[in-house]
Structure 1
Amino acid sequence: MSQNCTVDDTAPTETAHALTIRDIRWWSPTLFSLTLERPEAFRFLSGQFARLGLPVDGEWVWRAYSICSSVYDEQLEFLSIVVPDGVFTQALKDIQVGDTLWVDKRNFGTLTTDRFRAQDELWMLATGTGLAPFMSVLRDPYTWERFERVVLVHSVRNSDELAYREWLENLAGDELFGEFAERFRYIKVVTREECPGAFALRIPELVQTGILERAAGLEFSAERSAVMLCGNPAMLRQMKTVLQERGLSVNKKSSPGNILWENGFLPEDNRQPDL
């Protein structure tokens, strides 16, 4: 752990769990996963996020992180990038197996599949670490009971940022979820270097040109498509517009529609509490 991270008498023992780091995996020089022990009392829905905390230079710093792990896993898993000037991630990147990370006892978020109604085809469109909540969704048996077809699109700058790529490309070999592989499509997008099997255009352009639908073998449909978005706010805004032009609607509590992202991830969400 960073020498600047020390636990003192101000530790939030009433509101947060002090959890031990069990494993760390670096996908690239700036992208890594953390696996923590999971308290029995910590419950969440696939797609939700938690608040992680560390003491940095005598001050507690908290950040929201989507949960990667399955709702049934005995551990909690999170995906993080290293932000060059980020107070929290600069401390988090130095954490070691056996160190303590604090996790708020509450879970948060509305990016969950139970927000959809009659749709039976699930699209998950992610950039960067926006992949995290969708890893949890994919590892939830309810997802495969609820949807006939599932498509994951992950867009990154460089190929080494395609976290969990091996598992996603080899779902058929998974002991628990292999039986669903024929109903799943994993589409890779790498925008800053050549990557075999990956598209180079950004997600909105792939939709506008029809390339994405041809690759998935599905078409966006107001009747059948449930679309979850997570990642760069610019992508969220553009995809919202692109999909609305195709006749899809925003999913709201009062009027369930097709397009869903985490409430609060866009500034304009704060003016639309119904999301």
Structure 2
Amino acid sequence: MNNKFELSNEYALVRVLSVKHYTNNLFSFEIARPKKLRFKPGEFIMIGLIIRGELVFRAYSICSPTWSNTLEFYSVKVPNGLFTTFLHKITTKSSVIIKMKPTGNLILETLRPGKRLFLLCTGTGVSPFVSIVFNHETYIKYDEVIVVLTCRYSQDLQFFNNKLKQLTKVSYIRPYTKNKLRFYLSVTRELYPYIGRITWLIKSGRIITDLMTYNFNKMDRFMICGSRQMVFNVTKLLKKLGYNRGAINNPQDFVYEKAYISHFKGKN
């Protein structure tokens, strides 16, 4: 590594332990977890690559449980995206740079106490919610946890389906999820048992009907992660329904990751 990129204690150079490709554009990878790194479920860290002589960082949600010895991330290769084009090519012979201080708004502390937690996401926006559903405190705080994930095609659901299978094998978490964790997977560009975008699923009442559950009420809480347009549409709808946006210093009814929204207009 070139001396000009000498790292301070704020950063760590870590090995890539595994890479898994689900489609031509969707992939996940695991890296070694520095012993000093601590995070809350739902937080993200900055991952860096040296690209054409420059150190470039992007925000990535941590998919791993807080007790894992590794850190896992889920990514999409953005067409003509500088960072993800290089990231897509990493192997177990690669290393990446990470900033050692996780942060983010998608943590349970940003929400007021409630009964039902909806985790609303599209595509790779499911990443922070994987960590949250592997967290036993989530099920202590809520009577029901419902993951609503919308993708373009059914093959795009592979990563999350794999995580659900893993969850059933974790004896520590399994008792907490019993009769509490539910999920609603829909696609938008092919036939599938559930079809439609999240805003339509909520507006039409379809999601309530399909889940055979009660209507939205003041004890429902929401976390939102996905494309800029999806986050805009869903938060606008939730505000119209009378819910308020929360923050770490002001817990409310729903929250989204502000850092990602600013990134969507930038480079990928």
TM-score after normalising by structure 2? 0.90
Check if 1:192 corresponds to 2:189.
yes
Residue 97 (structure 2) aligned to one of 79, 98, 102: 102
Rounded Cα–Cα distance in structure 2 between residues aligned with 1:54 and 1:252: 30
Question: Match for residue 247 of structure 1?
Answer: 242
Residue 173 (structure 2) aligned to one of 167, 171, 177: 177
Percent identity (aligned) = 27
Q: What does residue range 198-217 of structure 1 map to in structure 2 within 5 Å?
A: 199-216=194-211, 217=213
Cα distance, 1:70–1:215 mapped onto 2, change above 3 Å: same
Contact 1:220 1:246 in 2 (8 A): no
Q: What does residue range 1-275 of structure 1 map to in structure 2 within 5 Å?
A: 7-14=1-8, 15-162=10-157, 163-168=159-164, 171-179=167-175, 180-195=177-192, 197=193, 199-216=194-211, 217-222=213-218, 224-253=219-248, 255-266=250-261
- Letter of the aligned partner of 1:141 in structure 2? H
- Letter of the aligned partner of 1:261 in structure 2? Y
Rounded Cα–Cα distance in structure 1 between residues aligned with 2:215 and 2:74: 30
- More moved, 251-260 vs 145-154: 251-260
Rounded Cα–Cα distance in structure 2 between residues aligned with 1:12 and 1:258: 43
Rounded Cα–Cα distance in structure 2 between residues aligned with 1:254 and 1:39: 29
Query: Cα offset for 1:174?
Result: 3.9
String of CA shifts for 1:116-163, please: whole Å, max 9, x gaps. 222121110001110000001111111111111000011111111112
Query: Cα offset for 1:248?
Result: 1.6
User: RCO (CA 8 Å, sep 6+): is it higher in 1 or 2?
Assistant: 2
- Letter of the aligned partner of 1:88 in structure 2? F
Rounded Cα–Cα distance in structure 2 between residues aligned with 1:265 and 1:21: 23
TM-score after normalising by structure 1? 0.88
- Letter of the aligned partner of 1:9 in structure 2? N
Q: Look up the SS of the partner of 1:212 in the other structure.
A: helix
Rounded Cα–Cα distance in structure 1 between residues aligned with 2:154 and 2:108: 28
Rounded Cα–Cα distance in structure 1 between residues aligned with 2:101 and 2:247: 23
Question: Match for residue 271 of structure 1?
Answer: none
Rounded Cα–Cα distance in structure 2 between residues aligned with 1:153 and 1:42: 29
Rounded Cα–Cα distance in structure 2 between residues aligned with 1:254 and 1:219: 29
Q: How many residues align?
A: 258
Q: Look up the SS of the partner of 1:28 in the other structure.
A: coil
Rounded Cα–Cα distance in structure 1 between residues aligned with 2:258 and 2:163: 29
Rounded Cα–Cα distance in structure 2 between residues aligned with 1:41 and 1:96: 24
Rounded Cα–Cα distance in structure 2 between residues aligned with 1:242 and 1:178: 33
